[in-house]
Amino acid sequence: MKLTQQQLEQFERDGYLFFPSLFSEQEMKVLRDEVPAIYKEFRPEIIREKDGVTPRTSFAAHTYSDVFAKLGRHPRMVEPVQQYFGEPVYMHQFKINGKQAFDGDVWQWHQDYGTWYNDDGMPEPRAMNVAIFLDEVNEFNGPLYFIPGSHREGVVAAGHDLKTTSYPLWTLDNQKVRELVAKGGMVAPKGPSGSMIMFHGCLVHGSPSNMSPWDRVIVYLSLCTVSNHIRRAKRPPWIAHRNFMPVMTLEDDCLLKKDVRGLPWPGHEVDEDAIKRADAPMAWTAEVAQKADQTEAASV
């Protein structure tokens, strides 16, 4: 999938592109059917909401789910990013954000590159997110909010919020958000299952809690140029990957072909026994993040 010159110019201006119904309902059903089994597992890659039960984010499913490994290598998601940056990309992060009905919590205002820079040592914002709606996203079930053009501000000062939700995040203060919205306004892309968004790593965004009776599951590929790979191993490897091999795309209809395999993910070896052992690395909670911050500060 290639972007037109008009789309490239729009991305430069707004910081995002929205593609309604880019994937078919049949393709989305293949992915949706896999999600419940993933959420039932209690593995360190799965972050729960503050209640300790409701799934919030599932990291690195592309390393153990064949269906999501195929999505991670899908040309409709990978090729536009490679085209924009003009070089191969690797999978910096892969996450399934749940935003479950009634219980899905807020994602505060933030820039993804702020976290990639502060926590992972990513040198430049030569990385972006490509997101696909597994469910319909409407005005009620916690749609993404974007501030168009905010990516042109570069890296905005942020604080490490360890209290608001179960997941630590580098977030913007309210006054800065007011200033950015005064310049660029706000949008909330909504659409059917199968819609795709690609957005700049510095685009300021967030999403409200989901008070509706409808789930809002979105899968995110965070793709980074190989030359811009992270320099710091602060977060667990399933959150910030150490495998910098370029993503090799599959056929366009790979999600519907059972004879096409996504696993094993090239360059990744999974030790399932180590993941399940009691001495496996801890989940990336606010407490663990705070200790990591303190350790890093003490070493400076």
Interval 79-121: pLDDT, tens: 999 999 999 999 999 999 999 999 999 889 999 999 999 999 9
pLDDT at residue number 282: 46
Mean pLDDT of 144-169: 91
The answer, yes or no, to whether residue 251 has pLDDT greater than 60, is: yes
Please tell me which residue, 53 or 225, carries the higher pLDDT value. 225
The answer, yes or no, to whether residue 272 has pLDDT greater than 90, is: no
pLDDT at residue number 165: 84
pLDDT at residue number 269: 64
**If you average pLDDT over every residue of the chain, what do you get?**
90
b vs e for 15-28, b when ≥16 Cβ sit within 10 Å of the residue's Cβ? bbbbbeebbeeebb
Structural domains present in the chain: 5-299 (2.60.120.620)
pLDDT at residue number 204: 97
Mean pLDDT of 6-21: 98
The answer, yes or no, to whether residue 273 has pLDDT greater than 80, is: no
Position 166 confidence tier, pLDDT thresholds 50, 70, 90: confident
Position 41 confidence tier, pLDDT thresholds 50, 70, 90: confident
The answer, yes or no, to whether residue 275 has pLDDT greater than 60, is: no
